[in-house]
């Protein structure tokens, strides 16, 4: 591995894989040297767009290359643990999209492989790298709001995903709310001790037919005594709704939605502005670039990544606890599902 540039290989060229490829292509400290995808047409298209000449359908070819220092895993969730394990055994550092898996035993196996190999692992919880969320974290960590009492996360998508996606998503709590579980731990700097869910199907009956929900409020109790709520919906007709507030003994800190412009129009009928950004790729564009830059810097500098394997595992535990809470209509402690 060179001292100044990290050679990365991309595995998976779907929507998020292409975002990462484009961001890597703009980085001075990294270079995209190979792309793997069973969909060769997609792989070649992504390679052409980012100046990559090496394309393969078999990711292990890239793992066996001395010219690859690390891999960016953007394939389907059911392949993540096996690729992480293979990459670790090959001595490659790993950036992997969330979640590692829906099964804790498989997650533990992948994390054990990473530890045994001594490679770096970062998981793609990109919202931690949003500048507004980082400011909230600093306000809590530095005591600006005093002792934290309440956390409120609003996370609503502009439209529900198709049925085919729902079937393989792992359910709302492991697909959508998992980001909010990670944010809750990150913002509060405390582990969750109890989860209680109230959820219904209020948006799309087809989601209910598949055994999932599309509307939920999740109550969290933290080990530091604070209380949190997560407010989720699969459909906010006005756009991508992403807001956070932490209320404490000395005050509060909050973030609002982002808009395509700051323009406000006032007339004799109303005062109005544009709707919020309507897609997560737009809302979190900068955070995707920031998380990849953070991973590259951590590897080049030989330090721990900012989203570790433990950070990746904890939201899955909370997602499983949330699902059990919904199924059994009761509060659930994380250790009940962490077996």
Q: Residue 194 belongs to what H/E stretch?
A: strand 192-200
Q: Within this chain, do residues 106 and 148 fall inside the same structural domain, yes or no? A: no
pTM for the model stands at 0.93
**How much is the pLDDT for 3?**
53
Tell me the CA distances in angstroms from 203 to 9, 100, 208, one per residue in order. Answer: 39, 28, 9
Residue 96 lies in a domain: yes
Q: Within this chain, do residues 140 and 190 fall inside the same structural domain, yes or no? A: yes
Instruction: Give the CA count within 13 Å in the CB-facing half-sphere of 246.
Output: 28
Query: Bridge partners of 244?
Result: 153, 255
Q: Within this chain, do residues 198 and 115 fall inside the same structural domain, yes or no? A: no
**How much is the pLDDT for 2?**
43
Reference 97, options 162, 29, 12; nearest CA is 12
**How much is the pLDDT for 277?**
82
Contact 88, 112 (CB under 8 A): no
Number of domains, the chain: 2
**How much is the pLDDT for 219?**
98
Which domain-ending residue is among 119, 152, 171?
119
Beta-sheet strand order (sheet of 93-96): 55-56, 30-36, 6-11, 70-73, 93-96, 121-123
Which domain-ending residue is among 119, 141, 176?
119
> Tens place of pLDDT for every residue, the chain, 339 residues?
445 799 999 999 999 999 999 999 999 999 999 999 999 999 999 999 999 999 999 999 999 999 999 999 999 999 999 999 999 999 999 999 999 999 999 999 999 999 999 999 999 999 999 999 999 999 999 999 999 999 999 999 999 999 999 999 999 999 999 999 999 999 999 999 999 999 999 999 999 999 999 999 999 999 999 999 999 999 999 999 999 999 999 999 999 988 888 888 999 999 998 888 887 767 788 999 999 999 999 999 999 999 999 999 999 999 999 999 999 999 999 999 997
Domain that holds residue 79: 6-119
Reference 181, options 63, 75, 318; nearest CA is 318
Distance of CA 196 to the CA centre of its chain: 22
**How much is the pLDDT for 28?**
92
Q: Within this chain, do residues 159 and 271 fall inside the same structural domain, yes or no? A: yes
Residue 166 lies in a domain: yes
Residue 287 lies in a domain: no
The rounded distance, in Å, linking the Cα atoms of 147 and 168 is 40
**How much is the pLDDT for 1?**
47
Tell me the CA distances in angstroms from 305 to 24, 111, 136, 246, 310, one per residue in order. Answer: 17, 14, 20, 25, 11
Residue 290 lies in a domain: no
Residue 286 lies in a domain: no
pLDDT tens column, 97-149 = 999 999 999 999 999 999 999 999 999 999 999 999 999 999 999 999 999 99
Reference 38, options 65, 66, 23, 17; nearest CA is 17
Q: Within this chain, do residues 24 and 76 fall inside the same structural domain, yes or no? A: yes
**How much is the pLDDT for 275?**
86
Residue 66 lies in a domain: yes
């Amino acid at each position: 591995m060179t001292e100044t540039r990290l050679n990365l290989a991309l595995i998976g060229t779907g929507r998020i894989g292409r975002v990462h490829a484009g961001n890597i292509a703009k980085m001075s400290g990294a270079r995209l040297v190979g792309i793997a995808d069973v969909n060769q047409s997609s792989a070649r298209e992504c390679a052409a767009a980012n100046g990559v000449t090496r394309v393969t359908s078999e990711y292990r070819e890239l793992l066996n290359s001395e010219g690859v220092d690390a891999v960016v895993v953007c394939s389907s969730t059911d392949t993540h643990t096996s690729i992480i394990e293979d990459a670790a055994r090959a001595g490659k550092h790993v950036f992997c999209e969330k979640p590692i898996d829906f099964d804790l035993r498989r997650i533990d196996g992948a994390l054990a492989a990473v530890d045994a190999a001594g490679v770096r692992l970062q998981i793609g919880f990109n919202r931690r790298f949003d500048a507004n969320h980082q400011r909230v974290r600093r306000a809590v960590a530095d005591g600006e709001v005093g002792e934290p009492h309440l956390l409120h996360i609003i996370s609503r998508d502009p439209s529900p995903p198709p049925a085919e996606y729902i079937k393989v998503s792992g359910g709302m709590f492991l697909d959508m709310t998992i980001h909010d579980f990670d944010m809750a731990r990150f913002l509060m700097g405390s582990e969750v001790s109890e989860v209680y869910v109230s959820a219904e199907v209020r948006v799309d009956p087809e989601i209910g037919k598949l055994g999932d929900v599309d509307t939920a409020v999740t109550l969290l109790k933290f080990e530091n005594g604070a209380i949190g709520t997560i407010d989720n919906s699969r459909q906010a007709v006005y756009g991508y709704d992403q807001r956070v507030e932490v209320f404490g003994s000395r005050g509060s800190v909050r973030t609002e939605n982002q808009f395509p412009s700051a323009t406000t129009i006032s007339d004799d009928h109303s005062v109005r502005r544009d709707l919020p950004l309507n897609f997560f790729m737009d809302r979190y564009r900068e955070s995707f670039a920031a998380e990849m830059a953070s991973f590259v810097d951590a590897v080049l500098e030989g330090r721990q990544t900012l989203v570790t394997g433990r950070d990746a595992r904890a939201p899955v535990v909370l997602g499983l606890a949330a699902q059990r809470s919904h199924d059994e209509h009761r509060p659930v402690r994380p250790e009940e599902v962490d077996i």
